[in-house]
Chains A and B, each alone.
Chain A
Amino acid sequence: AQSVTQPDIHITVSEGASLELRCNYSYGATPYLFWYVQSPGQGLQLLLKYFSGDTLVQGIKGFEAEFKRSQSSFNLRKPSVHWSDAAEYFCAVGAGNNDMRFGAGTRLTVKP
């Protein structure tokens, strides 16, 4: 069965520092891959998605993610974190068959 692992439950970075959030998946074929962000008390907002093609994808708010087939990973990155990026981030894996699986989430704290 497909699964998604986000190894880091909580990450703290200083404002202006770079960020990388890890995501590993288990799936039989190349799935669709997503990163969502959730601010407190809000729904999930799509940051970026990968379906096929270029393995480095750009998203909103200055985020990017790289699909690495050999490592079954889809890590999220941002070169310089802003205080407003503090939120919870979810990686998700799907195949267009309505069986999208979400990771447990990584909570990001940004220090001033």
Chain B
Amino acid sequence: NAGVTQTPKFRILKIGQSMTLQCTQDMNHNYMYWYRQDPGMGLKLIYYSVGAGITDKGEVPNGYNVSRSTTEDFPLRLELAAPSQTSVYFCASSPLGREAFFGQGTRLTVV
């Protein structure tokens, strides 16, 4: 049982480049989330989705976009990468919007 799978695991981007972080889950969860984790700051919610076709902003959405065309997939798009987006990104899913199940993370460096 794969759970939540994120790709890539590591990425280095140059300032101004764009990329998509992929996230897929095989648990048929309606709720999906994107968080970023910065040292000493815990996790901050970027975007979330309560089902296919429905997305909404979290606490720190600026510079990011998401889409949810299927229950399984919830990609996160970074447009015009900036050094402030250097972080570890976690995708998570939840059956009922309570406890979350996390992927392994994507470590992104913007130089």
Pick the contact of B40 from A45, A46, A96, A104 — CB < 8 Å? Answer: A104
Contacts A42-B104, A43-B104, A98-B50; is A34 near B42 (CB within 8 Å)? Answer: no
A104-B42 in contact (CB<8A)? yes
A42's nearest neighbour on chain B, judged by CB, is: B104
- Does B75 sit at the interface, judged by CB under 8 A? no
Residue interface mask B36-49, A partner, CB < 8 A = 1: 00001111110010
B41-A51 in contact (CB<8A)? no
Contacts A32-B98, A44-B90, A96-B98; is A103 near B42 (CB within 8 Å)? Answer: yes
B33 CB to closest chain A CB (Å) equals 8
B50 CB to closest chain A CB (Å) equals 7
Contacts A98-B97, A100-B45; is A44 near B31 (CB within 8 Å)? Answer: no
B90-A98 in contact (CB<8A)? no
Pick the contact of B101 from A46, A51, A100 — CB < 8 Å? Answer: A46
Number of residue pairs across A and B with beta carbons under 8 Å? 58
Q: Which of A32, A41, A51, A98 has most B Cβ within 10 Å?
A: A98
B10 CB to closest chain A CB (Å) equals 10
Query: Can you sample 24 A-B contacts with CB below 8 Å?
Result: A9-B40, A32-B99, A41-B104, A41-B105, A42-B104, A42-B105, A43-B4, A43-B103, A44-B92, A45-B102, A46-B100, A46-B101, A51-B98, A90-B42, A90-B43, A94-B98, A96-B97, A98-B31, A98-B48, A98-B50, A99-B58, A100-B45, A102-B35, A105-B42
